[in-house]
Each structure stands twice: as structure tokens, then as C-alpha cells.
Amino acid sequence: MKIDGRNIVGYDYSIGTGLSFQGVNPISNSLIPEQFFIASQEDVEVAMFKAREVFCDFSKSSLEQRALFLEYIAYEIESLGDVLITKINEETGLSLDRIKNERARTTDQLRMFAAYVRTGNWLEATIDTGIPERKPLPKPDLRKIMFPLGPVVVFGASNFPLAYSVAGGDTASAFAAGCTVIVKAHPAHPGTSALVGQAIIKAAKHNNMPNGVFSLLFDNGFTIGKALVEHPYATAVGFTGSLGGGRALFDLAANRKRPIPVFAEMGSTNPVILLPEALKNRANEIATNYAASITLGTGQFCTNPGLLLAIGSEELEQFKKSLIAAFKLTNPGIMLHKGIVDAFVHKSESIFSESEVKLLVRSEKEADTGQGRPVIVTVKGTEFVKNPALHQEVFGPFSMLVECESVAELYSCIEYLQGQLTGTLIGEPSDFNEHRNLVNLLHQKVGRVIFNGVPTGVEVCPSMTHGGVYPATTDSRFTAVGVHSIKRFLRPITYQNAPLDILPEALKNRNTLSLVRFINGKYSTKDID
């Protein structure tokens, strides 16, 4: 498939303002030849109008139709073959193996949502039949179902050009819910976005989806994103990126005449608590694992372990020696684009400027242009507690070791943490028995508690929670990964004393969809007499 740099507005293509921009190869720091046209305000209006106009039809599509659409998007992405792989590599500098793994994750999650759509469980069909003869007042017939919100605006993420981008988890879950989608492409990988957008349109046409079920708009600034969020037809926003970007979108959405929810995943320092017996028994192993985890993908994961916490001891000193030895052997890596490199350098230097922060270890190799040089710093627990500047995320191959003088100080450090995506406990059974309250503390801070592992690596499955307390996300009640992320784009509607022929199929007396329904306080697959 040939890349088309025009905006996709439903089934039409537009050159928007007529102005264009180009992608940049992060390895060579050179412009990539293709031109991508910046969307106009008219493109926003038309895309949003189409999305609203066809929302009703799309929301009423059968579960099977929606599932087939999702499966066909996966098929079309795979059909792009090496054209897509090569373009992602050119635009991001990511390794071919990493790209292929991410493509598999993206297509797998599309198929996962297709399978989940078919179950209909997410509809949460709930029925309380009426009792007209009840005294002193009749009981009404009440039937509840989850209903899609409407047009959803999705922002492509920089660090996952497929899995959190044009056909990523936000788009997949919104389509699964029955919402139309308008994506604002990330300017760091416009060619990748265009190819995937074209694949979605091909799948939509093949499955007779309405014109307007999907649009893709380009902009290398903030104008189009702002216009989409503020548009009166938008009903929700999905975003993965920085705290600054997510908070700006959240504020825009809250200040609308009719506020809408923004489901923003904004990163995390992902604290790792190193408990005494574990350090005593396997300090070298833990150090080796974490040197690898901190530098995995040049640290460009929202679950990167940016914070290590431990109580001072001989075992901790041995761990530090092992960590230094392993970390010196790591290499600088290409970062996704210049903006990320600049932010990494700026935030690293900002941390270094704090008087009590000391360098623990750096990669022995200097960084070239476009690269991030791995680094770990250390600070005392007392200083960490009183200095909020030390709590910020440094996106990249960076981590901070917080050395506490006592158990009480360790607990105090954790209490002062902001919301996080993950919290990890490294310990032996005796550690966990002695420090059970640490789990309770983490419950108040994180969306996922990990035992004896690393936070990098997010399994895409129904049990996964990829979310957390603000500022990790804007709404801790939801996950951005797994089938339950569909809940972000649904709301409950109750029908009271409705004629049976008006009810949605899932709420009728005959259970033609073979759903598990909650009827009069009990789960059942039976028809209603």
C-alpha cells in the first residue's frame, strides 16, 4: 500500500490547509521525503459531523458485525507487511524485533476485543421485571444496558506507534463499544499513522461500515487536537503521553460548556521496593534484572522502573555494587524523537541540580545525537520526602535509588508518593509477612501491584489493570489495557416500562443473543416467561 499524506475524513481525503510537514528519522536526524497535510478547521467540522451523523447506525450494528470489523482491521494491518515495519523503523528507530512484537500485540488486541464483543457480557444486561400488583405502589419494569457514549477523539502516542496509536487500544475499545472514532495522528510517526488509517478505511468499506465511522487528521502542532477536544460533538477523549499534555486536554474538556471525560494515561515512576531478605539472598540477580529493565527500549515505557527504594544495610551496599557493575555495561539508545531527547536531558539535569542528589552510575559509553545515556542517581529518604521535585518522572533510561535509614522512613517515602501505574515488591516470604502493610499502602497509590518481577511488560488480557491514581491517569477507575477498557466509552441507560419491541435485543424477554443476564437478582441465560 502506498502512503497517502492527506487527511482521512470519513471515506474522503483532504489536503486541509494545504500546508504540510515531514517526519524525521531519529537515527540520522534527517527529514523523511513524504509530505503530510495539516488538517483545517473545516476538516475537523466535517469529520466530527460525519462521526455524529453515523454514530446511531454504528452503535446499532450487531455484535457480529462489529467483531468482524475489528478482525478485518487486524487482517489489513498484517497485510501491510514489511512496508509498515520499514516505515515504523524509519520514523522511530525502534528495532525490527520490537516493531514486529508490537504489531502482534496490536492485532492480537483487536482480535481479543472482537471475541469479547461477541460475548455481549460488556452490555451488562440487567432486568428487574415489574410487579404491577405490588402495594402500596406498583413496581415498574426496569431494564438496564450499557450504551456507547458517541464520537471519541483519540490521540496517538509517541512511544507505541501501533499499540497506543491509530488502531491501538483506545481505538479498538471505542469501536468495540460502538463509538465512532476520530484520531489525531502523532507527528513523530505520520507515515505509520497514514498506513494504519488507510488499513482501517479499507476494513470499514469491506464490512459496510458507515462513512464517518473513522477519521484521521494530521497536525504538527496543537491546533487540531484542541479543536477536536473542544468540538461539541466529541463525547470522550483517549490519550497516552506526558502529564503536561494529558492535563492540558483534561482542562480543555472540563472547561467546555458540556464537559466530557478524558481518559489520559500520563506515565509513572513505578516505585520498586527492595526488601531486606531478598537483597540478602539475591542482590546480584535483582541488580542484573533491574539494569536490564531500566534500559529496556531506552527507558521509553510508561512502566519503566524510575524509582527504587530500600533500607540501608550491607546487603544494599552489595546490591549497589552489582547494579553499578551491570549498569556500566549498558549502552545509550536511540530515543523516539528530538522532543523526547530534549525532555530527558532537561529533566535529568534538573534532578542533578538538587543539592542532595548524587550520581550512582552512568553507562560508560557517551550518547550520540538522538540517544539517551542510561543513568541512576541516589538520594536519602529524608530528602526524598521533603523535596517534591524528586518525585517527577524522567522519561527515558533513568532511575533513582532512595536509601532509607529505617522501616519507618521507607513507609514515609511511600506515603508521600503520588499516584502510579505500578508498584513492585521484591522480597522473600518472610519479607512479605513482615511488611504486609506495604501492600495496603500501595493499594492507595497504584493500579497494579507486582511481586518479584519488573514493571516493564504489560500483558494484554482481561485481568490487567493499566491505570492508577492521578497523576498516573485522570481516572483511576479504569484500565487502558485489556477488554475492560471498553468501559471507558460506555454509559448505563435504563428503560422503564418500555414496549418490548422498542427494547434493545439484549433486554427483550427472549434471550436471542444467549447472554448471561442479571434477572431479578440472579444471573441467568434463560428467557423471561
- List the catalytic residues: 265, 302
| DSSP secondary structure code for residue 258 in this structure | S
Cell triple for 70: 475489528
Buried b (16+ CB within 10 A) or exposed e, 319-332: bbebbeebbeebeb
Buried b (16+ CB within 10 A) or exposed e, 377-409: bbbbbbebbeeeebbbbbbbbbbbbbbbeeeeb
Cell triple for 88: 515504523
Sort 112 into a burial class: Cβ within 10 Å, 0-12 / 13-18 / 19+: buried
Closest CA to 426 of 452, 406, 401: 452
DSSP 215-234: EEE--SSSHHHHHHHH-TT-
**What HEC string does 196-214 produce?**
HHHHHHHHHHHCCCCCCCE
Amino acid at 369: T
Closest CA to 215 of 182, 168, 173: 182
Closest CA to 454 of 431, 426, 487: 426
| DSSP secondary structure code for residue 416 in this structure | T
Amino acid at 483: V
What is the spatial distance between Cα 267 and Cα 419, in angstroms, rounded to a whole number?
Answer: 10
Closest CA to 125 of 496, 524, 412: 524
What is the spatial distance between Cα 44 and Cα 228, in angstroms, rounded to a whole number?
Answer: 7
Alpha helices in 271-337 (DSSP H): 276-295, 314-328
